[in-house]
């Protein structure tokens, strides 16, 4: 049984449990599994206890559980079928996310079926977490395989404490946006209270993506993202190792006899294409080509632990490495010297420590790597004569391990040069560099990482300050410049807070004041575009000089415009009356129909919540049967004539009528709205104007940015009213 305490526990979710199941003659055996994530989290879980949720790797029968002797934490297995393993694990996780996140998009496989299984397996992990969670627990989700999990937990338990750590790189915006599910992935992560990455570079990439792809507001200085009414903390938490343990292991590791005067160049990796093993072998070959004295005096030991062996790409990589090793050994080897010792299996810890200790050079040259713990383990194990770390700039570790020889792993010649320099480096220089690396790694060890991350995850999450005019300077300053502005604003939920009944909605006095100031500027035109009838919207926002577009733009009036009524409105007015009668058949308390001429809205905000779905369904049926289009709105369903006219058409109509077809030359357009019907306007202005969607980020949007609520719209109005004078509106 576990010894976990029942409050403030840690619930860890990772794709793999820290054990692998082996079945010999029917008996189940759990062996500790390897990899960077387990190396990081296993000691932490030993110290703190809790529950670890993950896939055990093998086949576990429903009645079987996994017991690890004397474990201070409990294992909660998530069983995966072969089909799920293929599509969730090999397919989407390792075939799509892994290569893309490592900036190798040409290796990425896209298959919608993989994504569907990825979603359902993430839901199963979320289910397991929900089963285990108790008040006060911290749920800590790890790595790319489970990116959707946090949102699935948050939806069911809105007040959960959720944190995420990504062990691999977070790619730059230009690559990340290739992912068809980018939105879901970002929203999955933003469901957390804290999202951690290995390096400041990845944090910055993440900010770029949430800002540019979701339109979320970010505070890069304080590491915050505004996500609806929640603030998400985002930061770099560079993983460290259990330094003392590695140092101790190196001191006590066996001391095999090695040929005198030989220098060892060491590579230790999972056999993965991101680790740059073929490129590294080629660099070593180049070294032997260019510098004869190293022949016979240097030996390379490459440990490549088998990984993802069922995947064709990994099988091909293994063949490629086998061939390269064979070729290089055949080319330079003698009866007394083998240039490369290639070990294609996992070696026991003490042997690995001996290799780390005895190596003169660690050649850590991944093409891309989240952090790379091998570089750190090597440094901690250098207890004898100090050696040299040659490290890829593309590893997260390169952000801090500056005393290593940093190389571009793609550039074979430069890696060969660095290797030569390392092998020739005088002992005093080696010492200076190695001791500096050791000091840092000793300070920034696993305990520190864990402490920093858990402190951040459990300390109170100070909300981001409300949006300021300076934010609009940054977002709109260049776009607007000296140009006159055409501003289009939805009414309910955008300018005025939603109320229980549409008749009770009131424009705040402050908003009226800012609207008046905007309208008074000779360089600014303001229009209200609403689903309300023209009469109604005029009544609710009586401001001189405004343009009004009512009934989703079927009727438009305002200064500088001929009054507009869509030609089909009269015809649909009659049919609308008949539809209103039909809708009256939904005889449920709190349901009523607002008739607005050619359009109508059935409201059910005041009806019992558990009846909302059925009411909306019935309303949609009746609206469709009457030959109208049905559109969901906030606690309402709208019926509109099927005449291909919407808020988008209305906005373009106003701009064209007032400023001509080349309007985008003479004015800058801004549209702000809060619901589904505003999406038509966002789409119409794609690439032409700046658009803002107001409210919680629950629905996807085509708007460029999100604003949290009516208060943020007020700030935008203040910015518009107070900006530097521009050229007056034409005409």
Nearest partner of 117 among 150, 165, 80, 142, judged by Cα: 80
Neighbour-count burial of 390, counting CB atoms closer than 10 A to its CB (0-12 exposed, 13-18 middle, 19+ buried): buried
Cβ-based nearer residue to ligand GDG, 253 or 303:
303
The residues near 95 (Cβ < 8 Å, ≥ 6 apart) are 108, 109, 111, 114, 311
CA distance 234 to 204: 10
CA distance 305 to 321: 12
- Three-state secondary-structure class, residue 182: helix
- Residue 39 makes contact with ligand GDG by CB under 6 A: yes
- Residue 320 makes contact with ligand GDG by CB under 6 A: no
Q: Which of 143, 471, 490, 492 does the annotation list as catalytic?
A: 490
Binds ligand GDG by CB under 6 A, chosen from 90, 161, 167, 249: 167
- Residue 270 makes contact with ligand GDG by CB under 6 A: yes
Q: Which of the residues 330 through 349 are near ligand GDG (CB under 6 A)?
A: 346-347, 349
3-state secondary structure 257-271: CCCCCCEEEEEEEEC
Binds ligand GDG by CB under 6 A, chosen from 377, 417, 536, 555: 377
> How many helices (H) and strands (E) would you count in the chain?
25, 29
Closest separation in Å from C-beta 166 to ligand GDG = 9
- Residue 352 makes contact with ligand GDG by CB under 6 A: yes
Closest separation in Å from C-beta 321 to ligand GDG = 15
Binds ligand GDG by CB under 6 A, chosen from 75, 268, 412, 457: 268
By CB under 6 A, how many residues form the interface with ligand GDG? 24
Nearest partner of 454 among 5, 3, 10, judged by Cα: 10
Binds ligand GDG by CB under 6 A, chosen from 117, 186, 265, 374: 374
- Residue 78 makes contact with ligand GDG by CB under 6 A: no
- Residue 189 makes contact with ligand GDG by CB under 6 A: no
**Which phi and psi angles does 175 have, rounded to 5°?**
-90, -45
- Candidate segments 371-379, 457-465, 532-540, 580-588, binder of ligand GDG by CB under 6 A: 371-379
Q: Which of the residues 545 through 604 are near ligand GDG (CB under 6 A)?
A: none
What's the gap between Cα 194 and its chain centre?
12
Residue 593, CA distances (Å) to 544, 604, 724 in order: 30, 9, 45
Closest separation in Å from C-beta 359 to ligand GDG = 13
- Residue 146 makes contact with ligand GDG by CB under 6 A: no
Cβ-based nearer residue to ligand GDG, 283 or 394:
394
CA distance 9 to 422: 46
- Residue 369 makes contact with ligand GDG by CB under 6 A: yes
How many residues are present in the chain?
731
Is the Cβ–Cβ distance between 165 and 143 less than 8 Å? yes
Q: Is 490 one of the catalytic residues?
A: yes
- Residue 12 makes contact with ligand GDG by CB under 6 A: no
Residue 257, CA distances (Å) to 260, 261, 300, 303, 337 in order: 9, 12, 16, 19, 15
- Residue 36 makes contact with ligand GDG by CB under 6 A: yes
Closest separation in Å from C-beta 10 to ligand GDG = 17
Q: What is the DSSP secondary structure assignment for residue 589, as one 8-state letter? A: T
Task: Return the residue matching tokens 């660690």.
Answer: 362
CA distance 650 to 398: 54
Taking CB atoms, the residue at the shortest distance from ligand GDG is: 36
Closest separation in Å from C-beta 692 to ligand GDG = 38
Q: Work out the number of other CB atoms within 10 angstroms of the CB of residue 185.
A: 20
The residues near 376 (Cβ < 8 Å, ≥ 6 apart) are 240, 241, 397, 401, 441
Give the long-range contacts of residues 374-378, CB within 8 A, separation 24 or more: 374/268, 374/269, 375/401, 375/404, 376/240, 376/241, 376/401, 376/441, 377/241, 377/246, 377/352, 378/266, 378/268
- Residue 508 makes contact with ligand GDG by CB under 6 A: no
Site string for ligand GDG, 238-267 (x = CB under 6 A): -x----------------------------
Closest separation in Å from C-beta 352 to ligand GDG = 5
Closest separation in Å from C-beta 35 to ligand GDG = 4
Site string for ligand GDG, 273-312 (x = CB under 6 A): ------------------------------x-x-------
Cβ-based nearer residue to ligand GDG, 377 or 536:
377
Q: Which of the residues 634 through 673 are near ligand GDG (CB under 6 A)?
A: none
Cβ-based nearer residue to ligand GDG, 270 or 640:
270
- Candidate segments 33-41, 82-90, 226-234, 459-467, binder of ligand GDG by CB under 6 A: 33-41
Closest separation in Å from C-beta 307 to ligand GDG = 8
Nearest partner of 246 among 370, 352, 402, 134, judged by Cα: 352
Sign for the pseudo-dihedral over CA of 98, 100, 106, 112: positive
Helix (H) or strand (E) holding 322: helix 312-332
Binds ligand GDG by CB under 6 A, chosen from 95, 370, 648, 709: 370
CA distance 382 to 373: 14
Cβ-based nearer residue to ligand GDG, 389 or 716:
389
- Residue 19 makes contact with ligand GDG by CB under 6 A: no
Tokens for 200?
Answer: 């400041």
**Which phi and psi angles does 601 have, rounded to 5°?**
-130, 130
- Residue 40 makes contact with ligand GDG by CB under 6 A: yes
| Active site residue ranges | 490
Contact positions vs ligand GDG (CB under 6 A): 34-37, 39-40, 167-168, 239, 268, 270, 303, 305, 346-347, 349, 352, 369-374, 377
């Amino acid at each position: 049984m576990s010894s976990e305490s029942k409050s403030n526990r840690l619930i860890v979710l990772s794709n793999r449990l820290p054990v692998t199941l082996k079945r010999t003659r029917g008996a189940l055996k759990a062996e500790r599994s390897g990899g960077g994530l387990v190396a990081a989290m296993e000691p932490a879980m030993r110290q703190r206890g809790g529950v670890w949720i993950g896939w055990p790797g093998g086949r576990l029968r429903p009645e079987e559980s996994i017991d690890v002797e004397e474990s201070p934490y409990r294992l909660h297995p998530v069983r995966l079928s072969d089909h799920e393993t293929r599509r969730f694990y090999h397919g989407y996780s390792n075939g799509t996310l892994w290569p893309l996140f490592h900036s190798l998009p040409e290796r990425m496989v896209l298959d919608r079926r993989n994504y569907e299984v990825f979603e359902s397996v993430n839901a199963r992990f979320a289910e397991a977490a929900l089963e285990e969670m108790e008040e006060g627990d911290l749920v800590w989700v790890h790595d790319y395989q489970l990116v959707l999990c946090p949102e699935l937990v948050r939806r069911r338990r809105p007040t959960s404490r959720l944190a995420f750590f990504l062990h691999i790189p977070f790619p730059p915006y230009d690559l990340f946006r290739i992912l068809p599910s980018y939105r879901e992935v970002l929203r999955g992560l933003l469901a957390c209270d804290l999202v951690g990455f290995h390096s400041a570079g990845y944090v910055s990439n993440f900010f770029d993506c949430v800002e540019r792809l979701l339109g979320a507001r970010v505070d890069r200085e304080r590491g915050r993202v505004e996500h609806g009414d929640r603030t998400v903390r985002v930061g770099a938490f560079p993983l460290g190792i259990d330094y003392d343990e590695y140092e101790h292991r190196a001191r006590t590791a066996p001391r095999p006899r090695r040929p005198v005067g030989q220098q060892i160049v060491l590579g230790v990796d999972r056999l993965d294409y991101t680790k740059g093993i073929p490129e590294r072998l080629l660099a070593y070959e180049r070294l032997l080509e260019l510098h004869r004295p190293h022949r016979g005096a240097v030996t390379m030991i490459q440990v490549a632990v088998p990984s993802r062996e069922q995947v064709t790409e990994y099988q091909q990589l293994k063949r490629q490495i086998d061939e390269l090793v064979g070729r290089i050994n055949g080319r330079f080897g003698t009866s007394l010297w083998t240039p490369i010792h290639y070990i294609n299996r996992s070696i026991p810890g003490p042997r690995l420590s001996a290799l780390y200790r005895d190596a003169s050079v660690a050649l850590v040259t991944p093409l891309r790597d989240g952090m790379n713990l091998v570089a750190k383990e090597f440094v901690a194990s250098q207890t004898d004569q100090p050696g040299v770390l040659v490290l890829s700039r593309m590893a997260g570790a390169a952000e801090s391990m500056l005393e290593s020889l940093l190389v571009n792993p793609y550039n074979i010649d430069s890696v060969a040069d660095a290797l030569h320099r390392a092998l020739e480096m005088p002992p005093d220089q080696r010492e200076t560099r190695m001791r500096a690396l050791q000091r840092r790694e000793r300070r920034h060890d696993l305990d520190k990482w864990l402490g920093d991350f858990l402190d951040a995850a459990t300390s109170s999450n100070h909300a981001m300050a409300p949006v300021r005019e300076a934010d609009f300077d940054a977002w709109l300053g260049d776009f607007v410049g000296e140009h006159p502005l055409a501003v289009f604003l939805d009414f309910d939920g955008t300018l005025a807070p939603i109320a229980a009944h549409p008749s009770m909605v009131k424009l705040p006095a402050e908003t009226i004041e800012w609207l008046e100031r905007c309208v008074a500027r000779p360089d600014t035109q303001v229009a209200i575009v609403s689903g309300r009838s023209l009469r109604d919207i005029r009544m609710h926002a009586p401001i001189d000089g405004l343009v009004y577009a009512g009934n989703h733009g079927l009727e438009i009036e305002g200064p500088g415009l001929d009054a507009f009524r869509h030609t089909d409105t009269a015809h649909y007015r009659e049919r609308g009356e008949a539809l209103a009668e039909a809708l009256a058949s939904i005889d449920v308390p709190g349901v009523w129909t607002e008739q607005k001429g050619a359009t109508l809205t059935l409201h059910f905000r005041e009806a019992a919540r558990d009846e909302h779905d059925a009411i909306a369904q019935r309303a949609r049926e009746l609206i469709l049967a009457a030959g109208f289009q049905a559109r969901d709105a906030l606690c309402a369903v709208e019926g509109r004539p099927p005449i291909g006219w919407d808020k988008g058409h209305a906005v373009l109509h106003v701009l064209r009528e007032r400023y001509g077809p080349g309007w985008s030359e003479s004015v800058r357009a801004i549209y702000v709205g809060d619901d589904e019907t505003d999406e038509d306007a966002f789409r119409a202005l794609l690439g032409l104007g700046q658009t803002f969607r107001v409210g919680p980020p629950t629905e996807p949007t085509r708007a460029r940015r999100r604003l949290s609520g009516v208060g943020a719209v007020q700030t935008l109005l203040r910015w518009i009213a107070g900006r530097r004078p521009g050229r007056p509106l034409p005409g």
